[in-house]
Amino acid sequence: MRSIIRLLTVLCLSAALVLPLLANADETPVNYAADAAKTGGDPPTVPHRMKEGDTGKSCLACHEKGLNKAPETSHPQRLDCVQCHVQGEIKK
């Protein structure tokens, strides 16, 4: 009898532990499509010459505000621009 009570206690405790977690888990479902919509895809390549030694600051000189017909960046806080934007075809 005692062992049955012990077993029941264990079962109840495990259920009590697991159920709220399941409920909690359901509140934050994974939605890969929604995640993908939050973020950009292929970073545009650079259609003009870049000088070696140019820094994020050199890029932001035009791209922060969109001066000289440069596209304005959506992410001026990312300073290592060339990590994603590599030299592309140079338009003459």
Partner 1 sequence: MGVTRRDFLKASAAATAFAAVGASALNPLKAGIAEAADDGIKWDKAPCRYCGVGCSVLVGVKGGKIVATKGDPAGPVNRGLNCVKGYFLSKALYGKDRLTTPLIRKNGKMVPASWDEALDLIASKFKDSIAKNGPNSVAMYGSGQWTVLEGYTAVKLFKGGIGTNNVDPNARLCMASAVGAFMNTFGSDEPMGCYDDLDLGDTYILWGANMAEAHPVLYSRMIDNRLKHPNVKIIDLGTRWTRTSQQADEYIPFKPHGDLAAINAIIHVILRDKLYDQAFIDKNTVFKRGTENAPYGLKDKESFDDVAKPLTFEQYKELMKPLTPEWAEKICGIPAKKLVELAHIYGDKTRKINSLWTMGVNQHVRGTWVNNLLYNLHLLTGKIGRPGENPLSLTGQPSACGTAREVGTFGHRLPADMVVMNPKHREITEKIWGIPAGRISPKPGPHATEMFRAVDRGDIKCIWIQCTNPYQSLPNLNRYRKAGDKPGTYAKKNDAFIVVSDIYPTRSTEMADVILPSASWVEKEGVFGNTERRTQHWFKMVEPPGQAKNDTWQLIELAKRLGHGGLFPYKHFDKEMFEEYRQFTIGTGKDLAPYETYYKVRGLRWPVINGKETRWRYAEGHDPKVTKGVGVEFYKAPNKKASIWFRPYEPPAESPDMEYPLWLCTGRLLEHWHTATMTGRVPELKRAMPEAVIEIHPEDAKKLGIKSRDQVRVSSRRGSIVMTAELNGRGKPEKGSTFVAFFDETKMINELCIDAFCPISKEPDFKKCAIKIQKV
Q: Which residues bind partner 1 (CB under 8 A)?
A: 18, 21-22, 24-26, 28-36, 38-43, 45, 52-53, 55-56, 77-80, 82-89
Give the dihedral sign, CA 31/32/33/39. Answer: positive
Which is closer to partner 1, CB of 2 or CB of 26?
Answer: 26
Which amino acid type is present at position 52?
E
Between the CA of residue 42 and those of 71, 74, 85, what are the distances in Å? 15, 14, 9
The β-bridge partners of 51 are: none
Which is closer to partner 1, CB of 9 or CB of 45?
Answer: 45
Which is closer to partner 1, CB of 31 or CB of 68?
Answer: 31
Report the nearest approach of partner 1 to the CB of residue 35 (Å). 5
Report the nearest approach of partner 1 to the CB of residue 10 (Å). 15
Determine contact, residues 43/88, Cβ cutoff 8 Å: no
Which is closer to partner 1, CB of 4 or CB of 34?
Answer: 34
